[in-house]
Chain A
């Protein structure tokens, strides 16, 4: 243990297991590309799992593909982005999306195999920025059907009547999408399973929130660096229970053990900072760099999203889940497809942290307080206009509560050329030194 190290540290034992699980992701893409099922682009409406109830449907999401491309080949990513740009897709589009659909326009994947062209597209549209264009690129190529679900935004005070109407809109959209897919592709939505799953669904797992609370300890047993890997694992692999096994419980157990024994994620932890949603592309590099100052990234709205909407309880000193809306009917009364859709759509609006009256104002400051951070690094992007505006706003809230905020111009996700790395390093150094910190390792 060096003299600068304040805490004992050791690598997570569960890494190997995590890596083995992640290998399934590429496998799932290869399988999807090879089989005869229809391929859905995006498909993330958050509430209805298309893949589970249309037996002839598979999904390949664009963001993970774009991320994978960017992390394995600069050259191929660049070539793909160019292919997309040449067809009129501007630099206002997220880099992940440019990467993935650029490869579509090229017609081949990185390994030379044929691009798995999509058959339909159900993107989740976010009205604030480039998300509104999601799903258009595959529609550009050939006239595949594309539906945009409505994700209304409302910035006023809590209005249950309005929310009810917004939910009705979303119910109608969802029902239409299901009916259209049935008609166009001559297939059937498995209503019976859908309704049954609602009735037998267990309590939403509390893994996310338990991990969050463990990370509030000092030293933190887990840093954002690690958590981000696990977070993407969950979304990416969608593994069947027999393969996933007790992975999440094992992870929590290990983190708990580390917390109990004060095993730190970063041995010289003496400064805690957080970031916002989503994580910037090159986070691994700058988080490692900041560890030279003994600074650890603890909280992030992005990965902590797996805990759902949370708030900080000042008395119990714990994060708690917020229940935003209870379903209108009891699960016992869910009889038809419409009942079922209305039941799962408890969220009236899109990303709650953009407009929810509590979330938007308080979540970032709750995080800051709960995780005990001294600083925050908030990235500004060209493509994510809505997120960027939010981060400016969040920066002001955090500054008011005494958190030292660093805004920097981050790269488009998946586009490494977009970050002025040297400038960023200067900014980080200055941010640390202005708070009286020097490098200690």
Chain B
């Protein structure tokens, strides 16, 4: 996903989100940027500085600056909650945990290459099982009813899902098991170095919109995530703040 955020004097005045579609993503980026500006009634010339962040940042050819993910996330977290000490950003292709020490970044953790637990894996498997992301967001904590799928690898998780269906397990339980496996994986990433703080950890990224995953993760990790309304735009907002200096 591409996220755009336009800010003026510390306020968000425009935002837009759209699919990246990697091949040809430059085109999609340019289009989305224009859309965001149009929606806010702004001209390109009115924008003082453009910065880009994320895995695809270098495809934003008109950016004056490229901001590393952790710095954008840290700035966003503090923007949303002044007392934030940790940021967790769970997206399609990565999970990032950033710990702050005053204004400095103390430590960062990135998930290993494996896609397990990530937004893309969740999207793909739930679609394969016939659900939309909105639908699975409503799932309750006990949806799995004891069914378990592999939590180390999304390929195995999907395979396990097929096998469960083959054996006649109701698909709601299978989906519940997949959600559970995502939660288990995310929890282990959180613990990689030092556990983020209980009450001052901000959650950003697309997966923060998934209530089922968030509730499951809160319960398993013991963290009371602070989730801003604009959590999905965390990276973009942090990036805009960095551009503003």
Contacts and interface: CB of A to CB of B under 8 A. Distances in A.
Interface of A: 380, 396, 399, 409, 420, 423, 426-427, 429-431, 433-436
Interface stretch (B17-25, B66-74, B140-148, B155-163): B66-74
29 contacts: A380-B112, A396-B193, A399-B107, A399-B193, A409-B112, A409-B113, A420-B113, A423-B113, A426-B55, A426-B68, A426-B69, A427-B110, A429-B68, A430-B68, A430-B69, A430-B70, A430-B71, A430-B108, A431-B108, A433-B68, A433-B70, A433-B71, A434-B68, A434-B70, A434-B71, A434-B105, A434-B108, A435-B105, A436-B104
Nearest to A380: B112
Interface string B51-91: 00001000000000000111100000000000000000000
Interface pairs A-B: 7 shortest CB-CB: A434-B105, A430-B68, A433-B68, A409-B113, A430-B70, A434-B70, A429-B68
Interface string B95-126: 00000000011011010110000000000000
| B70, B71, B107, B110 interface centre (most CB from chain A within 10 Å) | B110
B96 to A, nearest CB: 9
Nearest to B74: A434
A421 B107 CA distance: 22
Contacts of B69: 426, 430
Interface string B190-221: 00010000000000000000000000000000
B141 to A, nearest CB: 31
Contacts of A426: 55, 68-69
A404 B212 CA distance: 35
A380 B114 CA distance: 13
Contacts of A429: 68
Contacts of A431: 108
Nearest to A433: B68
Nearest to B105: A434
A434 B193 CA distance: 16
Contacts of B55: 426
A435 B71 CA distance: 10
A427 B55 CA distance: 11
A60 to B, nearest CB: 34
A399 B99 CA distance: 13
Contacts of B108: 430-431, 434
A433 B104 CA distance: 11
A409 B111 CA distance: 10
A409 B68 CA distance: 19
A206 B108 CA distance: 40
Contacts of A434: 68, 70-71, 105, 108
A392 to B, nearest CB: 9
Contacts of A399: 107, 193
A68 B113 CA distance: 27
A343 B113 CA distance: 47
Contacts of A435: 105
A409 B110 CA distance: 11
B136 to A, nearest CB: 28
B79 to A, nearest CB: 18
